[in-house]
Amino acid sequence: MEKLQAAIEIARRKRGQADKSAAVPAAPAEQVADTPAPAPGRAPAPSRKQPGSAQDRLWRQLPEAPLDRARLIHERILSQSASLESTPFDVLRTKVLYQMRQNGWRRLAITSPLPQSGKSTTAVNLALALGRQPELHSMLFDFDLRAPTVANKLGLPTPPSIAPLLRGERAFADHACRVGDNLSLALSGVPDTDPTRLLMADATRETLARVQQDYQPDIMIFDLPSILIGDDARAFLQHVDCALILARADQTRYGDFDSCEREVGEYTNVLGVVLNGYRHSEGMVDAVESGA
């Protein structure tokens, strides 16, 4: 883990030096989160929704999804309730909320350089941790459309394809479900063979804008594919305010991480880095270490 952290810092310092010598200075990656840029989901700090309001009624009309606790534990989904095991994700929630509120951001993408870094597990845990905040309304979208896994991690029945929703052919209320009073899930259970076209489509942009306007979520989380395996994530990053990058201590190479961070930074703000799979000297494993 120390080698990966050192490599990340070296790469960032080199990039910062290169940026200083460029004709047009650019903010280093670690400072991007402090430099807000216009984006579709930009909004003021989250506000509480009053019981009985139009948005509150829309949320309550979504069908509630009963989660399978045994499945959650098996999939390392640990943040449905507060516990020692949920602490790393609660810390991540606090850091993410602080940065997003400071910048007035609402849309967060979660990605990684390559698969098997724990991005979907982190996305689900973060969403459930946010769902324990009664003053917040959060949404989780499974946008890893070639290999959707969120429904399986939650122990839910296989949902239909999310494509009709994104194309505007199905209402959000007819597709989404709800966990508790303030977390909604827009999942997909049918792999898509050509998701890039769908993620870049104007219809998808319009659908998300409509959902955001109608439901007024405080945070929208998008579980995206890994950056370095195709164009799917790149096709969608322009539609979010910021992105969280997952790196795995025992397998992510700093060259892959550096390439991923550069790619993400071209399309949106890098909120931070989550270091997954870090082993303490006494042998304990943290679910996540956050650099957000």
- Global pTM reads 0.82
Q: Given pLDDT bands bounded at 50, 70 and 90, which one contains residue 94?
A: very high
Q: What pLDDT score was predicted for residue 56?
A: 84
% of the chain surpassing 70 pLDDT: 78
Q: Given pLDDT bands bounded at 50, 70 and 90, which one contains residue 149?
A: very high
pLDDT at 172 over 60: yes
27-65 per-position pLDDT tens digit: 333 333 333 444 555 544 444 567 777 888 899 999 999
pLDDT at 223 over 50: yes
Which domains are present in the chain? 2-290 (3.40.50.300)
pLDDT at 23 over 90: no
Scanning the structure block, which residue is given the tokens 């990966």? 4
Six token digits for residue 181: 């009073």
pLDDT at 117 over 50: yes
- Determine how β-strand 269-276 pairs with β-strand 107-111: unpaired
Q: What pLDDT score was predicted for residue 283?
A: 39
How large is the average pLDDT for residues 66-74? Answer: 92
What is the four-CA torsion angle of 164, 168, 170, 176, rounded to 10 degrees? 90
- Could you give the CA distance from residue 204 to residue 207 in angstroms, rounded to a whole number? 5
